[in-house]
Structure 1
Amino acid sequence: MTKTKAVRVSLLPDAVRRQAFAEASRFRGEFYECTTARRDELFELVDAVLCADGAVKSVVDLALLPGHRRGHGAMYGGLNHCRLDAGRLRTVLAGLSLPRFDGGRLVLAVDVPPWLRSDALCSAERLFCYVYGRAKTASQFIPGWAYSFVAVLEPGATSWTAILDAVRLGPADARPRSPPPSCGVSSSSSSLRGQWQADDPHIVIVADSGYDVTRLAWVLRDLPAELVGRVRSDRVIRLPKPPRMPGINGQPPKHGPEFRFTKPETWPEPAITTVTNTTHYGKAETQAWDRVYPRLSRAFLMARPRG
């Protein structure tokens, strides 16, 4: 007896394929126009990186790929003398079709991963990058380059992200562990104004504990953005100042009581409490307080954002 097995193969409609091909072709043309010097070599070098089989371990190996039609001398000349209009490229990336969450909300993620260059003694502007270990005593500082990037997150279980901006931090910017809050975030959020309408939900920006969320909120105060970020476990913030009681003389206090993260006895009753049963971590309890804030200095408010 012969057994047969039915296999269903799903293919994209021709209209969807043509639309995706047209979108990729348009982006390639606009990216080519963003290059202002050695554009042919730089364009072929990008094609070689995308067509490489696996991770790129050596730059000179890219000259051997079919997508790169020039010699290795032209490749080094293009890397040394190429010019790219970063502002125009940032606008092109922000104009692409970006993934959205429920309700059409855009969610951005910012972080500063290091590119460790401990053996590259001649590399300019290296920093001591903080590298986390499996234990507190295993963390260390290693020379390298730190990059601040902004990416658009995609809903669902996927690792794909749309990179909007990437800026290499130098010695004059900040320590890699505490990056300048406006590196790439302000410019990328401003470039997304064309995709945000008045009736759309605010753009959510998710930051790690290395970013000062309060400083970011001040820098992005004119943009339709909401910030979500981790803060240090030893932070001390302030509660709203108590109402002025009649019959009490003297100058009223400027700030309310302290809210210490390490001392639960200083926490007032939360405004909102939620309990969620998770699959991997058991019960997750969330508490939220309204109108709590850190004390801001005049230098904090007068500092001008960079980028």
Structure 2
Amino acid sequence: MSLLPDAGRREAFAEASRFRGEFYECLTARRDELFQLSDAVLCMDGAVKAAVDLTLLPEHRRGHGAMYGGLNHGRIDTQRLRTVLAGLPVPRFSDGRLVLDVDVSPWLRSDAPCSPERLFCHVYGRAKTASQFIPGWPYWFVAVLEAGATSWTAVLDAVRLGPVNDVTTVTADQLRGVVERLIAAGQWQTGDPNIVIVSDAGYDVTRLAWVLRDLPVELVGRVRSDRVMRLPKPDRLPGTNGRPPKHGPEFRFTKPETWPEPTVVTHTDTADYGKAETQAWDRIHPRLTHRAAWLEHEGELPLIEGTLIRLKVEHLSKEREAPAVWLWSSRTGATDEDVDRAWKAFLRRFDLEHTFRLFKQTLGWTRPRLREPEAADRWTWLIIAAHTQLRLARPLVQDRRHPWEKPASTDRLTPARVRRGFRNLRATMPCPARAPKPQRPGPGRPPGTKNRRQAPRYDVGKTVRREKTLIALQRLKG
């Protein structure tokens, strides 16, 4: 039975109020300051240009010293907060399937030599060949995607990559934790369709599929257009001597003469890209070698088969023809519906870019000049909690559009337009933060006294050596 509009609003209001109380319980130190700081991010008019400006708002009832103390010395039970986020209502596709996206967004800190654990982050410039590597803190985000054209996502997790971490290992552990929490929260049950996880070409999708093979997930990732994979091994003829081959002929993406007849061919009319044509080949796999990524693997390297998809759309814009995109899915024996679902889910991954832009340009995620990476982690989780409140308040706020903007229905409001009306909604919602206690500020360093304790400088990049290398491992086995 469908809910009436008033009953739906009451349920949404109760869910948003419940999350505010659970989020407050996840703050284990300086909780009042951190909670009011998150409210100030939501209630500020316009974009957050500096973190100290938040202390001037009436929603933040403490001074600027309390803000710095909360970010530097506060504590957040992130594991409990992750569990709370997994239990909230999440968007689903038309068949009830969950689609997750994992992507990285850097917090650039090129002018912070005293900040530890910085890495070289790949940043794209305005020109096609203007990519750069700038020091910063890379954060891995996992979010649930919505069906259709939208700028809304449900962010469930964030992990900062350190100098000693391996990208694929961190991503696999992060995705495993998210999926297990979704299953524990009842978001996926036995008999439901598999959870689809989409990723870009920067992730080793075949290795992720092997590590997460025990979970009810399907990996769909973009692969480079210059890759070389292998076809299934041919049938062995009677009377043939010698060791049977493990791999079939080469499948070179840049040489169509190496492509066999596709097992699936689909044609779909799209509103933005014209006609979309897909070709799919079953049981395509990479030929793994003894590289550093598989040093810990015991025995013979596995054979990871999946479906290779070539997507070609008619146009990206009216003036430019679109190049072909290669996707690899961990699903074998895919049908026409499976292939169409895979590339349509992959195209929805670009919605997370709108969330990153909202984080940085509106909510001020990368605005504070924090020295310690732990403080940056706390601020990141505050931004995630603020964005979650916007998502829960989506059906509750009134549209406060600018005179030059077109009216929009409640289900079509963007996160920025929902944020404009959150201050009015907050006045009716519970606020568990306590009133500040009056106290005098500390004396600080006496005037005219120099700082005798200089902050240490840190190198940038992967400065920690691995314990095992390929040569050392071969010596141990030899």
Q: Gapped runs of 5+ residues in structure 2?
A: 299-478
Cα separation, 2, equivalents of 1:135 and 1:263: 28
1:14 aligned partner: 6
Alignment of structure 1 residues 222-233 onto 2, 5 Å:
222-233=214-225
1:174-189 equivalences in 2 (<5 Å)? 174=166, 180-182=170-172, 184-189=174-179
Q: Which of 121, 133, 147 lines up with 2:139 in the alignment?
A: 147
Change in 2 beyond 3 A, CA 1:183/1:132: farther
Cα deviation for residue 107 of structure 1 reads 0.8
2:36: which partner in 1? 44
The 5-angstrom pairing of residues 71-86 of structure 1 reads 71-86=63-78
TM-score of the aligned structures, taking structure 2 as reference length: 0.58
1:272 maps to 2:258: no
Indicate the residue corresponding to 2:114 in structure 1. 122
Match of 1:7 in 2: none
Give yes or no for contact 1:129–1:146 (8 Å, CA) kept in 2.
Answer: yes
Shift of 1:179: 8.3
Contact 1:127 1:170 in 2 (8 A): yes
1:250 to 242, 247, 268: 242
Tell me whether 1:192 sits opposite 2:182 in the alignment: yes
2:431: which partner in 1? none
Decide whether the 8 Å contact of 1:181 with 1:212 is kept in 2: no
- The Cα shift of 1:123 comes to 2.4
Q: How does 1:18-29 map to 2 (within 5 A)?
A: 18-29=10-21
Match of residue 300, structure 1, among 294, 298, 303: 294
Task: Give a deviation string over 1:86-121, Cα, whole Å, max 9, x none.
Answer: 111111001001111112111111100112222233
Matching residue of 1:102: 94
- Asked if the contact 1:147/1:169 (under 8 Å) is kept, the reply is yes
Residue 95 of structure 2 aligns to a residue in which SS? helix
Change in CA separation of 1:90 and 1:270 when aligned onto 2, cut-off 3 Å: same
1:32 matched to 2:24: yes
Match of 1:65 in 2: 57
User: In 2, Cα distance between the equivalents of 1:135 and 1:240?
Assistant: 40
Task: Tell me, in whole angstroms, the C-alpha distance in 1 between the residues paired with 2:115 and 2:49.
Answer: 17
Cα deviations by residue, 1:104-152 (Å, 9 ceiling, x for unpaired): 1111111001122222333222211111234443111112221100011
If the length of structure 1 is used for normalisation, what is the TM-score?
0.89
Alpha-carbon distance between aligned partners in 2 of 1:90 and 1:126, rounded to the nearest angstrom = 25
Q: After the TM superposition, which parts of structure 1 deviate over 4 Å for at least 4 consecutive aligned residues?
A: none
SS of the residue corresponding to residue 213 of structure 2 reads coil
More divergent stretch after superposition (207-216 vs 181-190): 181-190
Structure with higher RCO (Cα < 8 A, 6+ apart)? 2
- Given residue 95 of structure 1, which amino acid in structure 2 is its aligned partner? G
Equivalent residue runs for 1:154-173 within 5 Å = 154-173=146-165
Q: Which moved more, 1:119-128 or 1:102-111?
A: 119-128
Question: Does residue 1:214 correspond to 2:171, yes or no?
Answer: no
- 1:203 alignment partner AA: I
RMSD of aligned Cα (Å):
2.0
CA distance in 2, matches of 1:142, 1:184: 25
Deviation at residue 71 of structure 1 after TM alignment: 1.1
Same amino acid, percent of matched pairs: 75
